[in-house]
Amino acid sequence: MKFYRSPSPEIAALLTARAAGQINAGTTITGGGDLIRQNGRPEWKWSASATWKYEQFQVGAFTQYTGDVQDIELVDATGDSWVVDSQMTANLYGQYEFTEGLAAKTRLRIGVRNITNETPPLESENGFMGALYRPYSRYWYVSVRKTF
């Protein structure tokens, strides 16, 4: 569980100078060190799903967690990076599959995505990290599928 890149001699000299107080602690220095949690590389990202089916009824759930990351482009006067918060979203759905009459082999699904209406956490350049966090607000959907 490491993601480390050794700094070049030049970067190492800059890091040493910043630690000694010779240059501003708020100066952004990239190019080495521990890269976990930096610029869109969360330490933890996971998802889970579950479904339950009984005869023609089915219920499903999905959740996704993305850990916090440091936005190294934005630092305070002490050199600490802005922390982009974590995000957890959840989706739910219920469905019924008809088995008789004209509606046979028809599935009706009703669901909601991002049930808690989580907004993506803010970062310094683009507002949010679209490649990392889900930017969608809560929405409901209905799906009808018919097979012949």
Domain positions in the chain: 1-35, 43-146
Residue 7 pLDDT greater than 80, yes or no: no
Give the pLDDT confidence score for residue 72 in this predicted structure.
75
Q: What is the DSSP letter of 19?
A: H
Residue 20 pLDDT greater than 80, yes or no: yes
Give the pLDDT confidence score for residue 74 in this predicted structure.
77
Distances, alpha carbon 121 to alpha carbons 3, 35, 89, 114, 130, in Å: 23, 20, 12, 14, 10
Give the distance, in angstroms, between the CA of residue 24 and the centroid of all CA atoms in the same chain.
32
Give the pLDDT confidence score for residue 32 in this predicted structure.
65
State the DSSP H helix or E strand holding residue 54, giving kind and residue range, or none if neither.
strand 45-54
Give the pLDDT confidence score for residue 131 in this predicted structure.
78
**Tens digit of pLDDT for each residue in 27-64?**
767 666 677 787 778 989 999 999 999 999 999 999 99
Q: What average pLDDT is seen over the chain?
A: 86
Give the pLDDT confidence score for residue 23 in this predicted structure.
83
Distances, alpha carbon 126 to alpha carbons 115, 120, 122, in Å: 25, 12, 8
Closest CA to 113 of 141, 147, 85: 141
Residue written as token pair 């610029």: 39
- The answer to whether 39 and 72 are in contact (CB under 8 A) is yes
pLDDT band at 136 (very low <50, low <70, confident <90, very high): confident
Residue 78 pLDDT greater than 70, yes or no: yes
Give the distance, in angstroms, between the CA of residue 145 and the centroid of all CA atoms in the same chain.
30
pLDDT band at 4 (very low <50, low <70, confident <90, very high): low
Half-sphere exposure of 66 (CA within 13 A, CB side): 20
Give the pLDDT confidence score for residue 79 in this predicted structure.
73
74 phi and psi angles, rounded to 5 deg = -125, 110
